[in-house]
Amino acid sequence: MKLFDVYPLFNITPVKAKGCYVWDSEGKKYLDLYGGHAVISIGHSHFHYVQKITDQLSDIGFYSNSIQNPLQVELAKKLGELSGCLDYQLFLCNSGAEANENAIKLASFVTGRKKFVSFSKSFHGRTSAAVALTDNPKIIAPVNETENAVILPFNDLTATEEALKDREAAAIIVEGIQGIGGIYVPTKEFLQGLKSLAEKYGSLLILDEIQSGYGRSGKFFAYQYSDVQPDIVTMAKGMGNGFPIGGF
C-alpha cells in the first residue's frame, strides 16, 4: 500500500524540533515560522506539554466520552477564563473541519433552516458541509455541491442583507481573519453589521477562529477586536498543542 497523493510536499523531512526550530534528516536547522500549520502554538517539545502528555499516557491513553473526564471540565473552565467566553458551552471533537461541521449542524437544529452564508476566499474545511461553504471549487466534489451554500463578497453587508431577507439562512459563517485565502481581515463594521443582520433576520453568527484563534492575533480570538458576540465560535489548531491548559 502507498500513501494517497493528497498535497504537494516540500522536500524536507523533519526529524526533531525544539522551540521555534526544526532539524531535517540531513541535519539542517530551520527557523520554523510555519508552526505545523498554526498547530504548534507554544513551540516544539515544550517541557510542560511533553511532561503532561507523558504523565497522561502513563496513566491512561484513551477512553470514550461515555465516562467522567475531569480533564475536560478543567479545560472548559480554563478556556472560558482565558478566552473571556465564560457563558459559552464547550463541545469537544477531533478537528477544525469537524468543529465547523458541528457548528453548521447545531445552527440548523436551532433555527430549523438549511441555508448558510459564507464569503469569498473563505476556508472552512474539507469535509461535507464545511467544504461547501469554502470558496475553492477545486476541492468541492459533486456530492458537496448544494444550493444551501451561498458565498458572497467579503466585507459586503449589502449583499449579505439581500441574502438573508428570505429568512431561510440558518447562519452566517465568517473567519476572524481569513487564512488560506490570504491574510484578509474583516472590518469592525462588517462583523458588527453581520451580528446585527443575523439578529434582524433570525440567523446565527458563527465565527470560525480555527486559524486565527488561540492568541495568534494578540487577543484570544481575532473577532474580539470588533466587540461582537458570536453565537458560536469554532476553534482547533493551537488547541492541539496543549494551550491553554498550561496557562501559556
Higher pLDDT, 38 or 100: 100
CB 19 within 8 A of CB 43: yes
Confidence (pTM): 0.94
- The number of domains in the chain is 2
Residues 211 and 93 grouped into a single domain: yes
Same domain, 170 and 122: yes
Which domain CATH number covers 193? 3.40.640.10
Residue 8 lies in a domain: no
pLDDT at position 79 is 92
pLDDT digits (tens, 9 = 90+) for 14-24: 999 999 999 99
Alpha carbon 216 to chain centroid, angstroms: 12
Residue 38's domain comprises 14-59
Give the chain's radius of gyration (CA, Å): 19
Residues 144 and 176 in one domain: yes
**What cell was used for 194?**
453581520
Whether 7 is in a domain gets the answer no
Task: Report if residue 3 sits inside a domain.
Answer: no
Residue 102: inside a domain? yes
Examine the domain organization and report whether 47 and 76 are in the same domain.
Answer: no
Q: Is the peptide bond before 244 cis (omega within 30 degrees of 0)?
A: yes
Q: Tell me the average pLDDT across 148-171.
A: 98
The closest alpha carbon to 200, from 172, 222, 227, 174, belongs to 172
